[in-house]
Amino acid sequence: MTNHLRDLRGTRGWSQQHLADQLEVSRQSVNAIETGRYDPSLPLAFKIAELFGLAIEDIFVSPSKEQ
């Protein structure tokens, strides 16, 4: 699964640490999600979507939907 988290974070000028603090996770977790090494749990994905005011589908993209 790929995602647009890095771009969304960048447009707000947030560091990985700032986003991690907002989500109550480690900076390493944010990095792992951004680089695709880790897919967030559903509750965390909802929290991310709520923080950015977007639908989960607008942030996280399954490989079959990418083109």
Report how far residue 61's alpha carbon sits from residue 24's, in angstroms, rounded to the nearest whole number: 23
- pLDDT tens for residues 8-64? 999 999 999 999 999 999 999 999 999 999 999 999 999 999 999 999 999 998 877
Name the pTM for this structure: 0.88
Residue with tokens 């951004």: 34
pLDDT of residue 21: 98
Picking from 59, 18, 21, 65, the residue whose alpha carbon sits closest to that of residue 40 is 59
Report how far residue 67's alpha carbon sits from residue 63's, in angstroms, rounded to the nearest whole number: 8
Of 3.40.718.10, 1.10.260.40, 1.10.150.120, 3.20.20.70, which CATH number belongs to 2-60? 1.10.260.40
Report how far residue 25's alpha carbon sits from residue 67's, in angstroms, rounded to the nearest whole number: 31
Residues facing residue 2 across a β-bridge? 61
